[in-house]
Chains A and B, each alone.
Chain A
Amino acid sequence: MFEARLGQATILKKILDAIKDLLTEGTFDCSDSGIQLQAMDNSHVSLVSLTLRSDGFDKFRCDRNISMGMNLGSMAKILKCANNEDNVTMKAQDNADTVTIMFESANQEKVSDYEMKLMNLDQEHLGIPETEYSCVVRMPSMEFARICRDLAQFSESVVICCTKEGVKFTASGDVGTANIKLAQTGSVDKEEESVSIDMQEPVTLTFACRYLNAFTKATPLSTQVQLSMCADVPLVVEYAIKDLGYIRYYLAPKIED
């Protein structure tokens, strides 16, 4: 028996919004430690890794490990039927071929449930090596989304250059060159507005704008985003999900031919 309950459907809606543009389907691996999903986009350029810890749920029960392959478009349809403040419960029997998603209004006067067929997906689980990143940048997630959106107008690629002075995003195309530099903030009242850079070595990497823009669909989940970079390895873009877990996107760099 698997059962997981969250106080607010809005969190699950935001999580789905954050992955459904990159992935059409995904396997939710459930164990007593929580729920995990790892999947590459169709072109195998990026990888999504979602972790939701069992202790972040209002109720969590998983007697036996189960893997639930889901069509994310179908799941999005179901979640559209929930009000943001509804409780949401996911339930499945061991070895089931369906999952039930139930929404309850705060006053319990409306209860709806949706049974969704599960899919058998080819699982290609990748081992992500432990990496000592040369640069770790933390910045407001809205600022990162704005930069990715703005620079995508000028080029398919963005060059991210991180030094101890700051982080610079550059896009060069037919129009010309756009540069956006962010310096580390001094003391700010609100932590969520700060930019911080933890640099061991300067690093310059090139990435495709369209994937970065897809990652920013996770912006509503977190006020801050963390970018971890190291020469010639995938970028990690991490959004923490408060008290529940995180979503990490890995993006393979573009490398000079």
Chain B
Amino acid sequence: QSKQMTIASFFRKD
């Protein structure tokens, strides 16, 4: 089973 990551887990808030 693969889990969908979110963008926020890679890119930080400015």
- For chain A residues 185-207, which have a beta carbon within 8 Å of chain B? 206
Q: Complex: how many Å from CA A27 to CA B13?
A: 16
Q: Complex: how many Å from CA A43 to CA B10?
A: 15
Interface size for A (C-beta < 8 A) is: 24
Of chain A, the residue at the smallest CB distance from B8 is A44
Contact B13 A252 (CB under 8 A): no
CB within 8 Å: A-B pair count:
58
Contact B7 A45 (CB under 8 A): yes
Of chain B, the residue at the smallest CB distance from A159 is B2
- For chain A residues 120-175, which have a beta carbon within 8 Å of chain B? 124-129, 157
A125-B13, A126-B12, A126-B13 in contact; A255/B7 too (CB < 8 A)?
Answer: no
- Among A40, A129, A206, A257, the residue within 8 A (CB) of B7 is A40
Q: Complex: how many Å from CA A253 to CA B2?
A: 9
- Among A44, A125, A128, A257, the residue within 8 A (CB) of B6 is A44
- Among A124, A127, A253, the residue within 8 A (CB) of B5 is A253
Min C-beta distance of B6 to chain A, whole Å = 5
Of chain A, the residue at the smallest CB distance from B3 is A257
Contact B6 A45 (CB under 8 A): yes
Interface size for B (C-beta < 8 A) is: 14
Contact B11 A257 (CB under 8 A): no
Cβ of A128: which chain B residues have Cβ within 8 Å of it? 11
Of chain A, the residue at the smallest CB distance from B12 is A127
CB of A81 within 8 Å of the partner chain: no
Q: Complex: how many Å from CA A252 to CA B1?
A: 16
Q: Complex: how many Å from CA A147 to CA B2?
A: 22
Contact B12 A257 (CB under 8 A): no
Cβ of B7: which chain A residues have Cβ within 8 Å of it? 40, 44-47, 126, 234, 250, 252
Min C-beta distance of A26 to chain B, whole Å = 15
A124-B13, A125-B14, A128-B11 in contact; A208/B3 too (CB < 8 A)?
Answer: no
Of chain B, the residue at the smallest CB distance from A129 is B11
Q: Complex: how many Å from CA A124 to CA B4?
A: 21
Min C-beta distance of B10 to chain A, whole Å = 5
- A 22-49 binary contact with B (CB < 8 Å = 1; else 0): 0000000000000000001001111100
A-B residue pairs, 5 tightest by C-beta:
A254-B2, A126-B11, A252-B5, A125-B14, A44-B6
